Structure 1
Amino acid sequence: MSKVNVTYNRAKLWQIGLFALNNTATNIAMVLMGYLAFFGQNVLGLMAAVIGVVITGMRIFDGFTDPVIGYFIDRTEGKFGKFRPFMLVGNIIIVASMYLIFAVAPTLEQSIRFPMLMLFYVIYVIGYTFQTACTKAAQAVLTNDPKQRPMFSMFDGIYNAILFAVAGLVITSILPPKFELGMLDPGLWKQVAILFGGLSFTLTILAIIGIWDKDKKENFGTGDSSEPIKVKEYLPIIKNNRAIQMLVIAASTDKLAMQLTNATQIYFYGNVLLNVSLQGEIGAITTPLVIALTFIGVMYARKMGQKKAFILGTWASMAMLFALLIIQPFDNISLTSMNGTTILLMTLILLQKGFASVSGNMVIPMIADCADYEVYRSGKFIPGMMGTLFSFVDKLISSFASTLLGVGLAMIGLGNAIIEPGTSATGSFFLLIMVCMFIIPILGHAASIIAMKYYPLDEAKMAEIQDEIQKIKNEQAIA
């Protein structure tokens, strides 16, 4: 195959940095929803197993909405582009539903809290799908330079590290002392919903500014989108695109583990380490080093390719999880009087989060690689379907996280109990926390490593793909 001089669609660094905030905007909502199991059981007074089933059911519904939204994104080509309208409308829905769930639901009569919670969550799911689909799909128009695409991961990793640390600190340490009932006080959750909702909307506006000049027809695949994709064409595309298949398996198993870990963390810090505020405090302390590891991972990806960076981060994260599970440095943890056990725990958590961030933040730009692979393979530019197909399976699998935790709590007799932070976890409760925090994530990483063995898009293949797409563009320019 003869080589051509590829004219890359490169983005300015500030465009990548601003657009990455779209993922941060939806992650703000995801972080808050990660507390839904705790909120539903301990504030709304609903059974843990019931809340788990609700969350699972709604995430499955969320998954089925993804291909529909992807189809409309691929067929959208209006004055405001493919992605900007979905980003704005989606975020408005997200912000409104967050307020309904965490501020309005506690004020309702007990008898209608459950059905109204389901309704509010359905609304949230629709908005979340609108906006998250754009994060994945718009990567294909933001830049197609293999050296630039990992830069999204750098910004995304930095933003997420700060978000997860600060959000945990706000919810578990800063706000609880201001309310009489601490984390069990409905007023706390109302304030969090307002604060998080306002921030999410602001970041969405910035992300729209970042993608504004890239959300144009000339950046859609080969630049020729005169023949819209038909519904019947999706199945053979999905069947033959090995790259998206393997990426879905790798990322969704890790996502299941991450969702389960997020839901369980409040019990790990509150009932194993016996200090729930440590969740935010340790996160804040380790954040700068997590960002540093993420930066190193992105530089490695720019040099060696995103596939190799994903695999390296996954192996290293799994090693740290094994160390935490085997050593269990959980006794006498204190940030005021630092001891060897505290330092060991913080070091292992830091390394695990940092390495997991390297692999996790590679996923979104890797979806763009899969979209380019489809242009190379079949000539079809369908970033919406690539992104939402990924989300569809990802959500179906990861949706079981809350169910696993809820059913686990029910099986050990804590499904309908109020679990006070500071009460020591022993016996089956301790075992359940270890399984959810460490064992299932280890299995998720193992599945990811196996899937990556069959993922075809390494650095050399991506160079070949961009070369072929440039040839098609050159032929169209001559014609």
Structure 2
Amino acid sequence: MTLYPIGGFGHNAFMFLMGLVSYYAAGIAGLGTVVASIVITGSRVMDAITDPIIGVVLDKTNGKFGKVRPALLIAYVLMAASTLLLFFTNHLVPDGLRLIYFIALYFVFIIGYAMSQIALNIGNTILTNDPEQRPLFGGLTMIYTMVFYTAAAVYLSYYLTGKYGGYTNVGLFQEMTISTIIIAGIAYALAIIGISSKDRSENYGTGKNSEPIRIKEIWPLLKNNRPLQMFVVAASIDKLSLQIAGNQIVNVMLFGIVLRNYTLLGTTNAIAMIPNILVLVFGIRYSMKFGSKKGFVIATWACLISYSLLFLLLWLGEPQQIRMDNMGFMTISFLSLYLIGGSVRYVGAGLMLPMLADVIDYSTYTTNRFAPGLISSVYAFIDKGVSSLQQTFVGIMLAFIGFKTAFPDVNTPYSSKIFWMTMFLSFGVMLLAWIITLIAMKFYELDKARMIEIQEEIETRRQAVT
């Protein structure tokens, strides 16, 4: 169980790398800010077709090496090849073909990204069906994610930007690409090893009697699954808000312009690792005892409160007093609230995967059909869709305040427009999202007691055919 969640480390590595693609597309490839943002969104329109197809194909796959392992290998190859070609060759293509070339490579990447997301979620479902253990693998996934994002933020903000002088040097993107491919390759290899003993037909749903899903049954399966609908609402709105707040451009605006201390981003991420892990462990232990749903709701309330206070601090205080060499009220308050908010965010995010596994088992319970690929494809489609929408949203919002040809960077002068747009993108969208999430969870029935009932019934059916 400890090895498999490392696969998410590799998945996040590619996601972090592609978070820089707008800088590359606009500044290196010369596509312009709004065009680059819209292309990133537009290139994913085909996801509505490709994601369910990938999901159904993986649901029907049951070969010598199972479902998960071949899919992870193929996904890694697609993402590695597409990012390597994109960041090393796109700017060398003639102007007339550059946009088409960019779209084609981006499309290949999102096919690999979808396959990775769906396969990882299938693996999470078959790894364990114990309601008390599922929060544990969600917690392990988030611990590995913390380690990656902490290291990546330091690597990018301290080393790469210092070495190459910012995002205008193609060498920064190319070195980041090579590092990503190596790290992700190791992570996917470990995940494949970790799932090998479980990636077998007897662990799929109710066992060998699980009926495969058919294309015509997709809509009824989704329409009649209320827990899936509520999960989708919560997951999509949370994902969109977190992607916007975590956008590299928004981070530059918050730390580089409002706080005038971009290196503080790497510093806070490094400081946050230990408290993040401690809070996550506490949150996961709480969720193991009381259920994933309850843990998720408590974490969402904690996020809502801490980030509301953080916004008030920056609005009413003096943000540029926040420095590691000035440990006064502003610095201590900012670090405390930023660390608390970040920690409970990880708890909520870590419970998404166990909740998705619960939704998949609920579907098996109600239909006797094991469709983790299909249901995961819905989640993957949302994941990629919102990650593309966030870039378009950020691009349009920044164009609205005058950044039409270039994004703000660490050398952009501070202004009230920058401040309020930063507050909206960094905090406002998340606060709205958490309110909607809490409403959705009122109609999500899969608490711990309900999942125990569901797992007992699935096990009874499984035993009936063994």
Summarize deviations over 1:241-260 as a string: whole Å, max 9, x none: 11111111101101001111
The equivalent of 2:443 in structure 1 is 454
Q: Is the 8 A contact 1:266 1:276 kept in 2?
A: yes
Q: Is the 8 A contact 2:78 2:112 kept in 1?
A: yes
Two-structure CA RMSD over aligned residues (Å): 1.6
- The counterpart of 1:80, out of the listed 56, 62, 65, is 65
Tell me whether 1:435 sits opposite 2:421 in the alignment: no
Distance between the aligned counterparts of 1:90 and 1:65, measured in 2? 14
The equivalent of 1:345 in structure 2 is 334
Q: Is the 8 A contact 2:204 2:210 kept in 1?
A: no
The alignment of Structure 1 onto Structure 2 pairs a total of residues equal to 461
CA positional deviation for 1:323: 1.0
Distance between the aligned counterparts of 2:280 and 2:54, measured in 1? 31
Q: Is the 8 A contact 1:217 1:225 kept in 2?
A: no
Tell me whether 1:356 sits opposite 2:342 in the alignment: no
The equivalent of 2:215 in structure 1 is 231
Distance between the aligned counterparts of 1:290 and 1:418, measured in 2? 31
Larger deviation, residues 258-267 vs 423-432: 423-432
The alignment-based identity, stated in percent, is: 34
Tell me whether 1:52 sits opposite 2:41 in the alignment: no
Distance between the aligned counterparts of 1:21 and 1:130, measured in 2? 16
TM-score by length of 1: 0.92
Structure 1 gap segments, 5+ residues each = 1-15
The 3 A distance-change label for structure 1 pair 474 and 67 is same
Summarize deviations over 1:52-85 as a string: whole Å, max 9, x none: 1112123443354211111001000000001111
- The counterpart of 1:306, out of the listed 285, 288, 292, is 292
Q: How does 1:296-335 map to 2 (within 5 A)?
A: 296-328=282-314, 330-335=319-324
Summarize deviations over 1:125-154 as a string: whole Å, max 9, x none: 011111111111222211001111111112
The 3 A distance-change label for structure 1 pair 383 and 226 is closer
CA positional deviation for 1:414: 0.9
The equivalent of 1:378 in structure 2 is 367
Distance between the aligned counterparts of 2:235 and 2:19, measured in 1? 18
Distance between the aligned counterparts of 2:45 and 2:311, measured in 1? 31
The equivalent of 2:224 in structure 1 is 240
The 3 A distance-change label for structure 1 pair 360 and 59 is farther
CA positional deviation for 1:275: 2.4
CA positional deviation for 1:109: 4.1
Q: Is the 8 A contact 1:150 1:362 kept in 2?
A: yes
- Does the residue aligned with 1:81 lie in a helix, a strand or coil? coil
The 3 A distance-change label for structure 1 pair 310 and 369 is same
Tell me whether 1:399 sits opposite 2:399 in the alignment: no
CA positional deviation for 1:118: 1.4
Distance between the aligned counterparts of 1:202 and 1:225, measured in 2? 35
Amino acid at match of 2:198: K
The 3 A distance-change label for structure 1 pair 201 and 448 is same
Distance between the aligned counterparts of 1:350 and 1:439, measured in 2? 18
The 3 A distance-change label for structure 1 pair 223 and 157 is same
- The counterpart of 1:267, out of the listed 246, 253, 267, is 253
The equivalent of 2:190 in structure 1 is 206
Distance between the aligned counterparts of 1:118 and 1:316, measured in 2? 40
Q: Is the 8 A contact 1:308 1:458 kept in 2?
A: yes
The equivalent of 1:9 in structure 2 is none
Amino acid at match of 1:104: T
- Does the residue aligned with 2:465 lie in a helix, a strand or coil? helix
Amino acid at match of 1:392: F
Larger deviation, residues 414-423 vs 167-176: 414-423
- The counterpart of 1:281, out of the listed 267, 270, 282, is 267
Summarize deviations over 1:9-42 as a string: whole Å, max 9, x none: xxxxxxx221111111111111111222233233
Structure 2 gap segments, 5+ residues each = none
The 3 A distance-change label for structure 1 pair 77 and 318 is same
Amino acid at match of 1:453: K
CA positional deviation for 1:429: 2.4
Q: Is the 8 A contact 2:211 2:369 kept in 1?
A: no
Distance between the aligned counterparts of 2:330 and 2:376, measured in 1? 42
Distance between the aligned counterparts of 2:162 and 2:378, measured in 1? 43
Tell me whether 1:469 sits opposite 2:458 in the alignment: yes
Q: Is the 8 A contact 1:275 1:422 kept in 2?
A: no
Amino acid at match of 1:136: N
- Does the residue aligned with 1:85 lie in a helix, a strand or coil? helix
The equivalent of 1:11 in structure 2 is none
Q: Is the 8 A contact 2:401 2:417 kept in 1?
A: yes
Distance between the aligned counterparts of 2:99 and 2:205, measured in 1? 45
- The counterpart of 2:127, out of the listed 112, 123, 142, is 142
- Does the residue aligned with 1:138 lie in a helix, a strand or coil? helix
CA positional deviation for 1:415: 1.5
The equivalent of 1:290 in structure 2 is 276
Distance between the aligned counterparts of 2:20 and 2:45, measured in 1? 19
TM-score by length of 2: 0.95
- Does the residue aligned with 2:322 lie in a helix, a strand or coil? coil
Q: Is the 8 A contact 1:256 1:399 kept in 2?
A: no
The 3 A distance-change label for structure 1 pair 420 and 223 is closer
Q: Is the 8 A contact 1:24 1:160 kept in 2?
A: yes
Q: How does 1:120-139 map to 2 (within 5 A)?
A: 120-139=105-124
Amino acid at match of 1:297: G
Q: Is the 8 A contact 1:276 1:422 kept in 2?
A: no
Larger deviation, residues 58-67 vs 241-250: 58-67
Q: Is the 8 A contact 1:290 1:354 kept in 2?
A: yes
Tell me whether 1:254 sits opposite 2:243 in the alignment: no
- The counterpart of 2:143, out of the listed 151, 158, 178, is 158
The 3 A distance-change label for structure 1 pair 275 and 111 is farther
Q: Return structure 1 stretches of 4+ with deviation > 6 angstroms.
A: none
Distance between the aligned counterparts of 1:226 and 1:313, measured in 2? 35
Distance between the aligned counterparts of 2:162 and 2:187, measured in 1? 28
Q: Is the 8 A contact 2:11 2:116 kept in 1?
A: yes
Distance between the aligned counterparts of 2:463 and 2:407, measured in 1? 65
